[in-house]
Structure 1
């Protein structure tokens, strides 16, 4: 499959599947870079594959760093409501050649992720609300 520039790939993906905003794909790419940067400092390698689980964790950490308590609001605007949406975006980018995958990677890897409310909202609620 032909390698495309990321912006061109996103144009193609959004024209085929308009569920997710263009900015969501940019954030996903930045999350991948964040994940690689943080994991490569531990593993000593810049060129390695990131599993679905690792990407979801990096996406979560980067979102909390960048958006804090506004993460769910931003993601809702972009069409991202579950980790399954993250996987759908990943595989949309794989389909157009912007992201790579191994034979072991599958969309189902993103199903057993985290709950967005528990991850992005609950930590910012007052303690008295968090127990409800």
Structure 2
């Protein structure tokens, strides 16, 4: 999915990936609603694991996503580009240190122990 963002700070695929994660999570809900920062980060985690398996972390890092705060930066870039909508109470801080990439992408595999 191609996403046009001014001043790309992340790989262009990263923006499409986060947007797709949001859309998939909303599509899986019986009554779609606004997603919180932790819900968006979890949606991205789930999509990464489903799509890339043990390569999830290297793929995300290739796009410049090294932690949940990067997911938040991408979300707010998408808000600025009018691809997503934020509520006044939404903040980049909502995405800070939600989970460790080591834990969710490495420790779950046998070689991570």
Are 1:88 and 2:78 an aligned pair? no
C-alpha separation between the residues in 1 aligned to 2:5 and 2:57? Answer: 26
**What number of residue pairs does the alignment pair up?**
113
Are 1:74 and 2:46 an aligned pair? no
Once the 2 structures are TM-superposed, how far is the Cα of residue 12 of structure 1 from its aligned partner? 3.1
- The unaligned stretches of length 5 or more in structure 2 are none
C-alpha separation between the residues in 2 aligned to 1:34 and 1:26? Answer: 12
Asked if the contact 1:35–1:59 (Cα under 8 Å) also holds between the matched residues in 2, the reply is no
TM-score, length-scaled by structure 1: 0.78
Once the 2 structures are TM-superposed, how far is the Cα of residue 57 of structure 1 from its aligned partner? 1.1
- The unaligned stretches of length 5 or more in structure 1 are 1-5
Are 1:19 and 2:9 an aligned pair? yes
C-alpha separation between the residues in 2 aligned to 1:96 and 1:30? Answer: 15
- Structure 2 match to 1:114: 99
SS at match of 1:123: coil
TM-score, length-scaled by structure 2: 0.91
- Structure 2 match to 1:29: 19
Once the 2 structures are TM-superposed, how far is the Cα of residue 120 of structure 1 from its aligned partner? 0.6
Equivalent residues in 2 for 1:47-66 (5 A)? 48-66=33-51
C-alpha separation between the residues in 1 aligned to 2:64 and 2:97? Answer: 19
Larger gyration radius, structure 1 or structure 2? 1
- Structure 2 match to 1:3: none
